[in-house]
Amino acid sequence: MSIKYKPRTLSGAAKRVAQLQTQRDERESLLKQWSSDRIALAKLAATGPAFVNPLEAIAAVKLRDQILMKAGMNPDGTFLQSR
């Protein structure tokens, strides 16, 4: 449960509005990036040729490899060796 914000001054309210706008902009950019990453991974998983631009294909492979590394896996699907 959040506490309702009650500004004490007009400048304080303006700062809060600016903070909220910044948060909104950051969230929108993250959602756009997430959406484009999802599309790239879906194209990578497609059975036929889905990429027109080879640079997009390379970027999608790098994204997939990064996700697998975070999950403790190699790009070929095997698990990383623990030391």
Going residue by residue through the chain, which has 83 residues, state the pLDDT in tens, using 9 for 90 and above: 578 888 899 999 999 999 999 999 999 999 999 999 999 999 998 888 899 999 999 999 999 999 999 989 998 889 988 64
Within-domain flag for 36: yes
- What is the domain count for the chain? 1
Determine the pLDDT at residue 29. 97
Within-domain flag for 41: yes
Determine contact, residues 39/56, Cβ cutoff 8 Å. no
Within-domain flag for 55: yes
Within-domain flag for 75: no
Residue 19 structural domain: 10-70
Within-domain flag for 3: no
